[in-house]
Amino acid sequence: MNVGIDLTYIPRFLDKEGLAKKVLSKSELNEYYLSRRKEEYLASRFALKEAFLKSIKKGILDVDLKEIIVVKEESGAIHISYLDKDYPASLSHENEYCIGVVIYG
C-alpha cells in the first residue's frame, strides 16, 4: 500500500482557467465553472491528483491528469477514480491551504 499527500496554496490558483482546462476532467470542469470559489476548487483537485501521482509513484508528465477523476459522493466523502478503479482519498482546507491524501493499493 502506498500513500500520497500534497499541500497546495489556494491563492496560487486564482484566475487559472487555462490550468483548469489542462487538469480537470469534463465533469470536474463543469463543476469548476459552477463554483463560486474557483481557486479553492481547482487547488483541491490539483492537490488530490498530485497526491494520487505520488501514491502510484508517477510524475506529472507520465499521466494525463484529466484521467484522474475526483468523485464527490452524496455523503460529502471523496475518492479518486482512475482507469475504472476507485481509491480512498481525503481532502481538507484551512485558510489559504488545502491538503489531499490518497491511498493506492
pLDDT digits (tens, 9 = 90+) for 28-59: 999 999 999 999 999 999 999 999 999 999 87
Q: Which domain holds residue 32?
A: 2-104
| Number of domains composing the chain | 1
Which contacts (CB < 8 Å, 24+ apart) does range 79-85 have? 80/48, 80/49, 80/52, 82/52
Coil, strand or helix: which one is 75?
Answer: coil
Block residue for cell numbers 466523502? 77
What is the tens place of the pLDDT at every residue in 48-93? 999 999 999 987 778 999 999 999 999 999 999 999 999 999 999 9
pTM, full prediction: 0.93
Report the CATH number at residue 61. 3.90.470.20
CA 40/CA 3 separation, integer angstroms: 23
